[in-house]
Amino acid sequence: MNRIAIAIDGPAAAGKSTVAKIVAEKLSYIYIDTGAMYRALTLKALQSSLQLEDEHPLVDLLHFTTIELRQSENGQLVFLDDTDVTAEIRSQKVTNNVSYVAKHPEVRKEMVKRQQVLAEKRGVVMDGRDIGTHVIPDAEIKIFLIATVEERANRRHAENVAKGFSSNLEELKKEIEQRDLIDTKREAAPLIKAEDAIEIDTTALSINDVAEQILAEVSKVMTG
Ligand code: CDP
Ligand code: CDP
């Protein structure tokens, strides 16, 4: 079989991007972080002081916005209108607001269109919330990663501590729960497991365990 598309969905800090990067590297595929695209738009909307509950100004803004994922020696970089915003889009402010931007149907429509162009040629590992259900519904492999909210908050906390950032475990847990709630309850393409997705509970699994399980699925599909 030729190059395929691998869709990885799941809630915040389930391990999607870490595992997606490993799988993409092993297969020499492109990794596409769709969350980064919603984060970049959120950053621009905040910089432009837009009201995030109003859909039309956000859609208009998106139409005049280029968001690029560029591969570099140091991993994937995110460019917003030709400016590197890789670090800025991970700020707490963007994290706390991104789900309000991502819930608008017309914003999603435009983002999905852009993401489908990126996935057109296959050879991609794409992660997000609606990849298996809306962006690449015909992906050859669909994975849905989950983990308990305690474990996910612990992971983000450990990440912050390792980076030397201040971090409050209880606040992180609340922020993750709030984002999960908005993402799963929204009307447009909510976070939901595609019927044909393979669910992996990563709570007690290492990153490599999860990557191995996905690569085993790839081997099965490839060998037919
Ligand atoms: O990495 P983390 O799980 O914190 O989030 P992300 O993948 O960067 O996504 C940030 C937010 O963007 C999510 O909480 C969703 O609100 C939104 N998102 C989405 O709606 N659809 C996607 N395909 C990807 C992200
Ligand atoms: O992309 P997503 O928000 O789903 O999660 P991530 O950013 O890939 O993972 C969040 C953190 O959990 C990272 O620091 C990973 O190293 C860690 N992780 C883990 O400890 N065990 C796993 N099985 C997967 C991820």
Give pLDDT tens digits for 177-195. 999 999 999 999 999 999 9
CATH of the domain at 36: 3.40.50.300
Q: pLDDT value at position 1?
A: 61
Residue having the nearest C-alpha atom to atom 25 of ligand 2:
15
| Entry pTM | 0.97
Q: Which residue's alpha carbon is at the smallest distance from atom 2 of ligand 1?
A: 12
Asked, for residue 39, whether it belongs to a domain, the answer is yes
ipTM over 0.95: yes
Residue 224 lies in a domain: no
Q: Are strands 67-72 and 30-33 parallel, antiparallel or unpaired?
A: unpaired
Dihedral sign (CA 162, 168, 170, 171): negative
Within the chain, strands assigned E span 5-9, 30-33, 67-72, 75-80, 83-84, 124-128, 141-146, 198-201
Q: How far is the CA of 169 from the centre of ligand 2 (A)?
A: 15
Range of 29's domain?
A: 5-215
* Within-domain flag for 201: yes
- pLDDT-flagged residues of the chain (< 70): 1
| Tokens, residue 188 | 């447009």
190 marked as binding residue: no
